[in-house]
Amino acid sequence: MSTASGTAGTATSPSAPLERTATGTIADTADTAGNTLPGPAAPAGAAARTTGGPASADDPGAAPARRLAFGWRFRFAVLALIWGFSFLFIKVGTQGFAPFHVTLGRLGFGTVVLLAVLVIKRQRLPRSARTWAHLAVAAFFLNALPFSLFAYAELTIPSTLAGICNATSPLWGMALSVVALSEDRPTRRRVAGLGIGFLGVLTVLGAWQGFTGTDPAGTAMALGASLSYPVGWIYVRRTLGSTGDSHLSMSSTQLLLATLQLAVVTPLFTSAPTSYPLWPVLAVFALGALGTGLAFLLQYGLVAEIGPTTAQMVTYFIPVIATAAGVALLDEQLSWNTPVGAVIVLAGAALTQNRTRRPARSRTAGPQRTGPAPDPDGSGPRTTDGDHAVRRPAAR
């Protein structure tokens, strides 16, 4: 699930896809060849890393290059931990609040973080009414709906299962993009990945046992949440190809609209909380401020610095961390088929990623406008949150 760093106003080439991050927001990515976004000039000694050669030990820039490498790896690990723990935060939050309250708090805190950064960077929200209208639809499918479904799902299923269901998002994305995007053509490799991935889902759910031990409704909601991401991604890809607005501006608007949607819906289905227990409050705050707001900024930086090909690998750590956190901190039970099925799901998701490469474009080109839409994994290979023409992206 990854976004990009650098200046928030930087945009990619017209052919570069937008990426849906694990937070459900939109971010510009590099092209399918894995070229990084245009960004600040590389520091001295980083030329070897940019061109693929190692920095010499005698090179005075070798130490800064090593520090940069440590820096992005540290942020990569932090991002994986934040997104992996998000499912635990949801579970703890629902122990004190109704699912809609958890989602509303998550969106509200995440919006505050992004709007604060928007103000600091002196950027503005989009001015086009058309952009706001399309972002309202994107906010529903990429934020309000999946976040709510995960919250309701975790009332009856463990956070470990929710984290694994989230990893199926790229599988849904690949299946839907074949139907909805004419430029996406299935290959044997991707079709095989789709089949393997859903075999992994059946393994996780214990299909040979008649799906005993799992709540069908909760599992269906978690899978529906992961399906909602690529639906939103395809919509954005078709409607918000080039707006001229930065992805920070677009994502802030998207989260703001999702928050307003939940603020309208929540009172219709549940009453206001009567108490505010400490741990659920902290969990909702962490889910929003860290798992939605800060995670977007971290991912935004990673994609700009190391490119989406490497940044999207965070997706493969999310279900692992979610499972470890659920078992260690929530005493959730783990049978052998859950981790085995999760590995099969991730293997299938990896195969669905398009590896077709395009000729690299010059990084010295002038400013360019935002390209077509977010990749549907980010929560998954989230491109969880991806760098393929029709892929997203992760953790959630």
Backbone angles phi, psi at 52, to 5 degrees: 105, -10
Single-letter amino acid code for the residue at 113: V
pTM for this entry: 0.75
User: What pLDDT is recorded for position 197?
Assistant: 86
Q: Which among 343, 286, 291, 323 is positioned nearest to 159, based on CA atoms?
A: 323
d(CA 369, CA 13): 6
Per-residue pLDDT of the chain (396 residues; tens, 9 = 90+): 433 333 333 333 333 345 555 567 665 443 322 222 333 333 333 333 333 344 444 455 555 555 566 688 899 999 999 999 999 999 999 999 999 999 999 999 999 999 999 999 999 999 999 999 999 999 999 999 999 999 999 999 999 999 989 888 888 888 887 777 666 667 888 888 888 888 988 888 877 776 666 788 999 999 999 999 999 989 998 898 777 888 899 999 999 999 999 999 999 999 999 999 999 999 999 999 999 999 999 988 888 888 876 777 787 788 889 989 999 999 998 888 888 888 998 888 888 775 554 444 444 444 444 433 333 334 433 333 333 333 333 335
d(CA 301, CA 324): 26
Q: Which among 13, 19, 1, 367 is positioned nearest to 167, based on CA atoms?
A: 1
- HSE, CB side, 13 Å, CA atoms: give it for residue 363: 16
User: What pLDDT is recorded for position 68?
Assistant: 60
